[in-house]
Chains A and B, each alone.
Chain A
């Protein structure tokens, strides 16, 4: 719950945008069904996710996709250690998508509903994808609108009392192009502008400020966020087919927003199949951002400025991911209505380093005066196991 406010609205938008990217003009993808399980462990949190996806073409020009995702979170994050109760929460997300192909244009519309007891999010999205220049170029344009209802649980994890705090709206505009450069090389560029307004703070996180009246030397207070937020992200990527049968992908993303956060993401991915049975994939990713201009780990007094935040997502941070993925293809000759099937295991290890967010575990220990505690850092492991059948 603590880490998940604001997050879910974003996730819904991202999921909507994913539909944009998974759409290919010219021909609709194969029918498929996926059963998915995931587990995240890190920073005191355990999150499990289960999902089912079914995609069906009713004609060569018309397809429907439905997806149900449920995730359950439990544990005690660093925020919980300072103030809140035990975390135990569940989120259910339903997505429905329709796709229509006309000549070289694919139109996609989707609706996403995400519900947890203290956060309700609904997203509608539309995109179109067009092949042009002898199918060397694919251009995609997308729009998504999200409405969120933001609450706070004033009760306990087991007996919730929800205080609804406000609403937030998000508009996402995306444009992208994918370009065949040679018979071995394809490149892409994606632009995404997202504008939020309304209640944008995470009610479960607090600022802290110097307070000589407190035994600890500081006190906690509510965060105060601007009620608007606009971000721009641009990603460039390229994928190269190596002289033997393998692929190398490189990408870079630049991010900037009106809160002063600037982020840079670098990723490298290597994919290596063995016959038509196994696909091995390895990846490294590095991300770095500076802090938002109204963020501080410790304010000198309260209120020290109009807007105040101590959300770790807005701190200066970097993280490094090393991951691998193994896909095993079975039923090569099909079985009954199924053409083929795959089983995939994916695992990532992420190291998070915060550069100006201090570890509250040390709050109140005499050897650590407020603002001198060790910086927060943790490792997370993300595992996924899923089966896909194509029919």
Chain B
């Protein structure tokens, strides 16, 4: 009597395994290592249909708008190979970026597969902090920003400029290679002001990248900051300086 129930149940569980589509992924997680000059990080997810039925892609969706993914084809015939390519626009991202791609197919055994791309984006220059501020009336002492060049990146010099002459900046080489010290100070803190400093490393020569430091003298809470424009002041640090 028990067999009457168990046999159909077992058939329901195991029969689909006998004849089916079967999309096998070479790997569902890939690590990519773009260089400092790359604008995009690209990951390839290879697959093969090892079943005897074709597989159709129903959708390929990415976890954020910064990543695009596309499949080479909409349908994968039995035995056929292919890949999904995921492209991350690096923009101003740094460090490890984990993006997922959700692939939906009509393969009942693997209806949804989540692919993971880990992009390790090298940091050309780390500024810490990127923002310094003084309260109105505070003593106008210099505040220090540490600038650390990424590992194995041959930056020898930093140039810093601003359009606001209410602030002064000084760049010095640090105690070890690839480390700089940037001192910023307002000339006075009686009036509110805001400045953006542009920091340019001397590498890569053909695709110089700008980094920014903001400095502000804040007035009463919530007070608006007037935009300031003034002649460019520049400072730089290089070996021997």
Q: Are A and B interaction partners?
A: no
B residues adjacent to A (C-beta < 8 A): none
